[in-house]
């Protein structure tokens, strides 16, 4: 069984079986918070409140830089949709799970529309839990 079986990435790959894996770019933004300063983040990284990036809030650090989590997404979209950089790119797919799914839904709803809406696709992973309780 493949390592990524049943994941959004695996489904994306299976949706386009004729596209060589080498022609696929996977980019996953990482929204760091002030809690990440204990290890992953440095003082010059964009930092967001604990979960405020999900709702597109502006960063809380570093001083002098003010951008929202959704503006970061807009920049990434503009980068990938630039035909001078990626002339054969057919689509940008946003996929999310848990907080990433919440952000994907909100971003899809609240983003400013552009000229390439037909090239943007949104996939959200929903988990359905049974009625049993977790005894851990």
**What is the number of other CB atoms lying within 10 angstroms of the CB of residue 133?**
7
**What is the number of other CB atoms lying within 10 angstroms of the CB of residue 72?**
17
Confidence class of residue 135 from pLDDT cuts 50, 70 and 90? very low
Residues 29 and 76: beta-carbon distance below 8 Å = yes
Tell me the per-residue pLDDT of 58-104, one tens digit each, with 9 for 90 and over. Answer: 999 999 999 999 999 999 999 999 999 999 898 898 888 888 889 99
pTM, two decimal places? 0.77
Residues 47 and 62: beta-carbon distance below 8 Å = yes
- Residue 22 above 90 pLDDT? no
Q: What residue spans define the domains of the chain?
A: 25-125
Tell me the per-residue pLDDT of 32-48, one tens digit each, with 9 for 90 and over. Answer: 998 999 999 998 999 99
Predicted pLDDT at 11: 73
Q: What is the 3-state secondary structure (H, E, C) of 15-64?
A: HCCCCCHHHCCCCCCCCEEHHHHHCCCCCCCCEECCCHHHHCCECCECCC
Report d(CA 40, CA 22) in Å as an integer.
29
Left (φ > 0), alpha (ψ -120 to 50) or beta: where does 91 sit? beta
Confidence class of residue 114 from pLDDT cuts 50, 70 and 90? confident
DSSP structure class, residue 132? S
Residues 47 and 41: beta-carbon distance below 8 Å = yes
The more confidently predicted of residues 53 and 93 is: 53
């Amino acid at each position: 069984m493949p390592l990524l079986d049943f994941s959004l990435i695996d489904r994306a790959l299976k949706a386009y079986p004729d596209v060589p894996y080498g022609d696929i770019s996977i980019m996953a933004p990482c929204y760091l918070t002030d809690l990440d300063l204990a290890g992953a983040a440095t003082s010059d990284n964009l930092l967001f409140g604990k979960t405020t990036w999900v709702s597109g809030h502006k960063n809380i650090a570093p001083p002098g830089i003010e951008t929202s989590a959704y503006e970061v997404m807009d920049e990434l979209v503009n980068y990938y949709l630039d035909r001078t950089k990626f002339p054969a790119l057919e689509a940008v797919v946003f996929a999310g799970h848990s907080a990433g799914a919440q952000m994907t839904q909100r971003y899809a709803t609240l983003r400013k529309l552009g000229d390439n809406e037909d090239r943007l696709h949104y996939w959200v992973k929903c988990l359905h839990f049974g009625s049993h309780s977790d005894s851990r």
